[in-house]
Amino acid sequence: MNFDAMMQLIYRYMAMRAPTNGMRVAFYRKAGVEIGKNVFIGANVFLDVTWGHITIKDNVYINAFAKILAHSYIPNHPPKKDVGKVVIEQNVFIGLAAIILDGVTIGKNSSVGAGAIVLKNVPNNVMVAGNPATIKKIYDDAHE
């Protein structure tokens, strides 16, 4: 493992365990996640920066234990690796322990329910939940 990869692992480890939001955001930025303004990242949130890229725009709230994956690697039957880009647009809420898979964009003003597993892009101004996550609600009052 090269030095940069080792530092990235250390920053990610520290980000997951840091006691304050400011520290978690700072460590995840150091690990390579693009994070906008006024972003909350809960304790034990896992942002996968091993491969791929994650962008989190302004005013995003990510609850504890959520996981955002930017790659998927299956070592057998047959081996397969997907590397993607995840974008969390402005004013998104992500519920406790939700999982967002590689290649997904969560649209502006949308919410992801607690425990959801999001496999596909989510449009603006909706709430998705469940496994696999589907649209449960459309927000009529969202501001563009």
Q: Which residues are catalytic?
A: 77
From the CB of residue 68, how many other CB atoms can be counted at a distance below 10 Å? 25
If one asks whether residue 114 binds ligand COA (CB under 6 A), the answer comes out as yes
If one asks whether residue 137 binds ligand COA (CB under 6 A), the answer comes out as yes
Minimum CB separation of residue 40 from ligand COA in Å reads 10
The only residue of 10, 80, 130, 134 in contact with ligand COA, by rule CB under 6 A: 130
If one asks whether residue 111 binds ligand COA (CB under 6 A), the answer comes out as yes
Phi, psi angle pair for 142, to nearest 5°: -70, 145
If one asks whether residue 96 binds ligand COA (CB under 6 A), the answer comes out as yes
Contact set with ligand COA (CB under 6 A): 63, 95-96, 111, 113-115, 127, 129-130, 136-137
